[in-house]
Chains A and B, each alone.
Chain A
Amino acid sequence: MSPKSVLLWTMQAAFFWLVLFVPQLVVFLLVDEPPTWEFVLMIATLVVGIVHTAVEPSWRYRVHRWETTPDAVYTLSGWLSQEWRVAPVSRIQTIDTKRGPFQQMLGLSTVTVTTASAAGPVEIEGLEHEVAQRLVVELTNTTQATPGDAT
């Protein structure tokens, strides 16, 4: 996990809360005599947003782990709720990389490993581009070496 992920998650969280907060602020400023509950809701959004943006990314960074062995891909993700995912290399169907707008800014990638199960994709977030590239090549090679239709 690149240390830059903390920045990535901070940007994502800040963006999310801004989308919620700004329209409320605009309404609050434009409407004459806004009702009290609107003010309360706005302040609540602001407070929760700030706390979440401040706490979640570094907490997440402490939790997140990933690892590959010749036999399996493994991730641990989440913060309040945490989830481990394991997929054996022999059951891998596809390996994708994707980059969201924030990730492109920071030079990060997400590698998604899918199996034949619709519930089974293993996502490795926040990898440096080169690390992601190397991982994809490595996994592709080991996957190709495995016969069978992986179901």
Chain B
Amino acid sequence: MSTPAEVPAGLPAAPEFVEPLPEWHRLHVRMLVVRPLNEGIAMLVPILVLLFTGNGEKWRLFASGATVAAILVFSYLIWRTTRYRITDDQVELHTGLLTRKQLAVPRDRIRTVDLTSKPGHRIFGLSAVRIGTGQQDVPGTDGLTLDAVTQQEAERLRLLLLQKGVAPRAATTAEGEHAEPVPLPESEVISQLDLKWLKFAPLSLSGLVAIGALFGVLSNYADDLGLHPVQDLWEWLFENPSLALFAVFLVVLAVAGLVLSIPLYILQFWNYRLTREPDGTVRVQRGLLTTRSVSVEEQRLRGVDIQEPLLVRAGKGAKLAAVTTGLGSKGESNLLLPPAPLSVAHQVSRDVLKVGNDPTTLRLRKHPFAALRRSMLRHVVPWVVIATGLAIWAPSWAWPIPVAIIPFAALVGWDNYRSLGNALDERYLVTRNNSLVRSTVALQRTGIIGWRIQRSFFQRRSGLMTIGATTAAGAGIYHVTDVGESHGLALADEAVPDLLRPFLVDSTVDDQAERNA
């Protein structure tokens, strides 16, 4: 802190600084209970397995006790060694026992604040705060996370951290419990959960994904117990191949997926609310057991992504994701709208981007016919190769399976081509890709920070190229796939004026682009 004596001569003295040095805070002491609870749930089954298999040998009891003790000690050490403080310029977090980590995030670089309360947190009124900056996340790292503080304190931090310059100087107590209640400013609701949207739950196939995950976990435990149901089943199937059995299996899977998907949708999206906050952020709240609140600085919103999984698209539905910096990749943190009618998605997109017309509804320009050929080949050829391979090396019943898949692959290839498209308006570059999860991205033209233009051997022969717009937000790169060379270059040149232009010389392709531009 600079004293008035250090102010250079000739400048007026800075106004006196009354804010006391923000103190270091510990995470909430209730985490001593919550962390063992949250982690204990994950360890529960292995511990039970350890305890109740075998003949009650002493070491089993001892090992389980040691595991529980280790979790408790670990939680205490984390709590003991973690401190955070929020100064006028930055958020600082010191953590770690053996490897001390000191994280500091400048406050003017904070773009997102993500509050997550798992069931354990919620019982004790706590919430984890994850702070995201403009930097793209390195996979595996988790940004700066305060796990956890009271929900009140979390709410106060959210307001404090996203409010540039005008930080509320609320009384800060170590536990935050006695902090004055924050007066909630008015926020404008953009969208709310409508129970009619539940019809998209089965279409999103989330039930099947859940079954897959459950299956993985269960077979893991089964392995621990020395059972190998998958292997046994596989061997049995191999010996008695039967079409009827296969059909029954499919039907059971489909019904189970259908039944599971609805509670899953409710679990994830209960109380879903999308609001625009007075501090210039867009905020998504959702969740039945684990609640989440993700706030994104509106200025840093680089666009939206309308995602239409095949079946949801067939039901005229879509979900909406934000293209922005500072969000972790965990658990769909960029979700703006759960699976809902397409018209709602367009309306939400319009409201979030504050534009008159949703850019994703622009009429998209089709890609050349050669792109259809490439799409078909890309989808069909692998199955032909697999079928041939199986016909040569596998038992004779195997090869008809990939052959039966080929017509569907061809359909997907055709639909993939139909999906391709691009458009440009005054502010957005729009590109659409893929068939199984069709994705229409509207990317702010000012958010494009470079180009990657790829031309494979076959693409060059058919006069196509794939244009990638790189950006700091979202996936980091968004592709315009298999676009005609001249149109593609003209598009890139127009989207970001003066970036590509100086280099569009001395090549036959570029001459074409010049002519077309």
Contact = CB atoms under 8 A, between A and B. Distances in A.
Interface in B433-456: 449-456
A116 B455 contact: no
Given A69-B502, A116-B135, A149 B109 contact: yes
B456 A81 contact: yes
B502 A117 contact: no
B134 interface: yes
A116 B136 contact: yes
Contacts of A84: 451-453, 503
A82 interface: yes
Interface in A97-151: 115-120, 122, 149-151
Contact of B449 (A80, A83, A116): A116
Nearest to B449: A91
A71 B501 CA distance: 11
B135 A80 contact: no
Interface in A72-89: 72, 74, 80-88
A38 interface: no
Q: Is the interface of B mostly helix, strand, loop or mixed?
A: mixed
A114 to B, nearest CB: 10
B451 A85 contact: yes
Given A71-B498, A117-B472, A151-B472, A87 B449 contact: yes
A67 interface: yes
A81 B477 contact: no
Contacts of A119: 452, 468, 470, 475-477
A69 B460 CA distance: 27
A38 B11 CA distance: 82
Residue among B451, B456, B460 with the most chain A CB within 10 A?
B451
B500 interface: yes
Contact of B476 (A67, A117, A150): A117
Contacts of B451: 84-86
Contacts of B498: 71
Contacts, number: 88
A118 B476 contact: yes
A67 to B, nearest CB: 7
B472 A85 contact: no
Contacts of B471: 117
A87 to B, nearest CB: 4
Given A81-B454, A84-B452, A74 B503 contact: yes
A72 B499 contact: yes
B339 to A, nearest CB: 28
B453 A117 contact: no
Nearest to A69: B502
A88 B452 contact: no
A94 B496 CA distance: 22
Contact of A120 (B452, B456, B499): B452
B325 interface: yes
Nearest to B489: A84
A115 B472 contact: yes
Contacts of B455: 81-83
Contacts of A74: 502-503
B236 interface: no
A72 B502 contact: yes
Interface in B79-110: 109
B453 A120 contact: no
B456 A117 contact: no
Contacts of A122: 450
B457 interface: yes
B63 to A, nearest CB: 42
A116 B464 CA distance: 28
A69 B505 CA distance: 14
A142 B30 CA distance: 51
Given A115-B470, A149-B109, A120 B454 contact: no
B450 A85 contact: yes
A149 B135 CA distance: 10
Interface string B228-253: 00000000000000000000000000
Contacts of A72: 499, 502-503
Contacts of B460: 82
A76 to B, nearest CB: 9
Contact of A91 (B450, B457, B477, B500): B450
A85 B470 CA distance: 10
Contacts of A81: 454-457
Interface in B347-396: none
Nearest to A117: B470
8 contacts: A72-B503, A84-B451, A84-B452, A84-B503, A87-B470, A88-B450, A116-B134, A119-B468
3 closest A-B pairs by beta carbon, nearest first, are A116-B472, A119-B477, A120-B470
Given A117-B136, A151-B325, 5 more contacts: A81-B456, A88-B496, A115-B450, A120-B449, A149-B109
